[in-house]
């Protein structure tokens, strides 16, 4: 049921380039993914043939641009199985802005001193700082669900922390550091039973596995186009219609109003109430072919491909002496962000040596400093995979670790023994 990776690689022009004279091995997909030709062409087509502002002009270009923008909205909504795609999908700049929107527009209205916001110890700063800010503004209290040693959420702690004071549970579906896939459907049930709402950070899950908002029964879902073959500058906030309708706007300005006087205004209907000003028209439109591309592959096949590749990578890394892999080791329980350290070599040094070999990985705290502290490290290296990666690229990573060992003498026995 999987697809032919060699065939689809031809759709990604950037994969043909060399870096430092070596073929590019792009393993930084959790940060952002590469774009297929269809997405790049759609952007160019828009600017060459359709460029106009939307929702206001009555001329042909404006009507065509508006139709294409709204068609993207419907496609995104259908992709995650929203019940009312035309109203429940809000375009933002990224996952970060989507979460800030909820923290502000929902949080300010619904949180008061004594209320609790529950998240987990593996959240990205994007799903942490907005809640810290809103807790400061409202007097609400922050609580986080702890992890067990294998990098899963502790179920007993979730049961203990989600209770009658909980007003919102904001949780990532897939960790960008540990790869862990969290049981968001079960957490949503727990939260709803306690009378709380649920926000799922889908930045790492929506690109990599089938995600169905009605099946999960989440109230909000946030994700970014750029992590799923689409352009940068486009985020999505899904919200249940009933909730969005009673929320106040996040940003005020043009296009989000019905009637304005000097003293007050009434707001536009959904989703425009939350899309103030000229949006990122071209990139929203070019997001549609990215979704077409993923749908043509099939999200089950995307998941299957990455699961196999992730297992191959974890097994290969663990065979290299001196490597520590963090998070679950069984790829059926996790996604394809594989975080590791190599002896006492600083991940930044490692990343630089790997780059000289053409291998692009991420090094640092991955916007998850509290989690780094839990792991007892200041930084890690991370290889992360997507639809176009192959096992020979994992082999290249392992070989490049050998190069790092030769330069730094880090783990003298570390060899590309993985194959
Ligand atoms: C789990 C998670 N949440 C949120 C984000 C933030 O995404 P963006 O930078 O597109 O807002 C990321 C980005 O890496 C992420 O991995």
- What pLDDT is stored for residue 414 in this prediction? 44
- What pLDDT is stored for residue 418 in this prediction? 43
Residue nearest to atom 16 of ligand 1 (CA): 176
Asked whether residue 411 carries a pLDDT value surpassing 60, the answer given is no
Closest CA to 341 of 382, 402, 286, 306: 382
Do 143 and 257 fall into the same domain?
A: yes
Number of domains the chain contains: 2
Q: Which residues pair with 239 in a beta bridge?
A: 220
359-398 tens-digit pLDDT: 999 999 999 999 999 999 999 999 999 999 999 999 999 9
Residue 120 Cα, ligand 1 centroid: separation in angstroms?
15
Do 88 and 225 fall into the same domain?
A: yes
Do 239 and 323 fall into the same domain?
A: no
In a domain, 358, yes or no: yes
Mean pLDDT (the chain) is: 95
The number of the ligand 1 atom at minimal distance from the alpha carbon of 97 is 11
In a domain, 416, yes or no: no
Do 165 and 25 fall into the same domain?
A: no
- What pLDDT is stored for residue 412 in this prediction? 42
The number of the ligand 1 atom at minimal distance from the alpha carbon of 98 is 11
219-261 tens-digit pLDDT: 999 999 999 999 999 999 999 999 999 999 999 998 898 999 9
Q: Which of 30, 93, 128, 176 to mutate to test the pocket of ligand 1 (most atoms within 8 A of CB)?
A: 176
The number of the ligand 1 atom at minimal distance from the alpha carbon of 366 is 14
Residue 343 Cα, ligand 1 centroid: separation in angstroms?
28
Asked whether residue 417 carries a pLDDT value surpassing 60, the answer given is no
Mean pLDDT for the stretch of residues 334-342: 97
Distance CA 56, CA 191 (A): 41
Do 269 and 350 fall into the same domain?
A: no
Q: What is the CATH number of the domain that holds 379?
A: 3.90.1150.10
Residues 363 and 381: beta-carbon distance below 8 Å: yes
Measured in whole angstroms, how far is the alpha carbon of residue 157 from the centre of its chain?
25
279-296 tens-digit pLDDT: 999 999 999 999 999 999
Mean pLDDT for the stretch of residues 197-217: 98
Residue 57 Cα, ligand 1 centroid: separation in angstroms?
34
Single pTM value for the model: 0.97
Do 231 and 286 fall into the same domain?
A: yes
Do 111 and 254 fall into the same domain?
A: yes
Domain limit, last residue, from 276, 295, 314: 295
15-62 tens-digit pLDDT: 999 999 999 999 999 999 999 999 999 999 999 999 999 998 789 999
- What pLDDT is stored for residue 1 in this prediction? 59
- What pLDDT is stored for residue 415 in this prediction? 41
* Site residues for ligand 1, CB cut-off 6 Å: 30, 94-96, 124, 126-127, 172, 176, 201, 203-204, 224
Do 22 and 53 fall into the same domain?
A: no
In a domain, 302, yes or no: yes
Report, as residue numbers or ranges, the catalytic residues: 367
Confidence class for position 409, pLDDT limits 50, 70, 90: confident
Percent of the chain with pLDDT over 70: 97
Do 196 and 288 fall into the same domain?
A: yes
- What pLDDT is stored for residue 264 in this prediction? 92
Residue nearest to atom 15 of ligand 1 (CA): 203
- What pLDDT is stored for residue 419 in this prediction? 43
What is the extent of the structural domain holding 10? 5-30+298-408
């Amino acid at each position: 049921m999987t697809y032919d990776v060699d065939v689809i690689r031809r759709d990604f022009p950037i994969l043909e380039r060399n870096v430092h004279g070596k073929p590019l091995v792009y393993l930084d997909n959790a940060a952002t993914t590469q774009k297929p030709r269809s997405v790049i062409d759609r952007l160019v087509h828009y600017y060459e043939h359709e460029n106009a502002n939307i929702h206001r002009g009555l001329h042909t270009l404006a009507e065509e641009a508006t139709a294409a923008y709204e068609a993207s909205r419907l496609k995104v909504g259908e992709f995650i199985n929203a019940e009312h795609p035309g109203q429940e999908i809000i375009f933002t700049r990224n996952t970060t802005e989507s979460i800030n929107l909820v923290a502000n527009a929902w949080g300010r209205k619904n949180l008061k001193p004594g209320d609790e916001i529950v998240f987990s110890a593996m959240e990205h700063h994007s799903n942490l700082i907005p809640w810290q800010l809103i807790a400061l503004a409202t007097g609400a209290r922050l609580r986080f669900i702890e992890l067990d040693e294998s990098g899963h959420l502790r179920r007993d702690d979730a049961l203990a922390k989600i209770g009658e004071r909980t007003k919102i549970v904001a949780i990532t579906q897939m960790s960008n550091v540990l790869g862990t896939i969290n049981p968001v459907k079960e957490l949503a049930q727990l939260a709803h039973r306690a009378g709380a709402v649920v926000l799922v950070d889908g930045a790492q899950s929506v690109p990599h596995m089938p995600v169905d908002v009605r099946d999960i029964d989440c109230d909000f879902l946030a994700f970014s186009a750029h992590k799923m073959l689409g352009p940068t500058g486009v985020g999505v906030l899904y919200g249940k219609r009933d909730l969005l309708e009673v929320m106040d706007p996040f940003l005020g300005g043009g296009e989000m109003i019905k009637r304005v006087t000097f003293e007050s205004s009434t707001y536009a209907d959904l989703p425009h109430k939350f899309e103030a000003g000229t949006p990122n028209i071209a990139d929203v439109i070019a997001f549609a072919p990215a979704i077409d591309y993923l749908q043509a592959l099939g999200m089950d096949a995307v998941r299957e491909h990455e699961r196999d590749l992730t297992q191959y990578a974890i097994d290969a890394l663990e065979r290299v002496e001196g490597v520590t892999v963090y998070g679950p080791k069984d790829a059926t329980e996790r996604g394809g962000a594989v975080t590791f350290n190599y002896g006492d070599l600083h991940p930044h040094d490692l990343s630089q040596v790997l780059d000289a070999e053409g291998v692009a990985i991420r090094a640092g705290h991955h916007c998850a400093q509290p989690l780094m502290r839990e792991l007892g490290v200041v930084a890690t290296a991370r290889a992360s995979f997507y639809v176009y990666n192959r096992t020979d690229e994992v082999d290249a990573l392992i070989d490049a670790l050998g190069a790092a060992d030769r330069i730094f003498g880090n783990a003298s026995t570390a060899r590309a023994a993985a194959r």
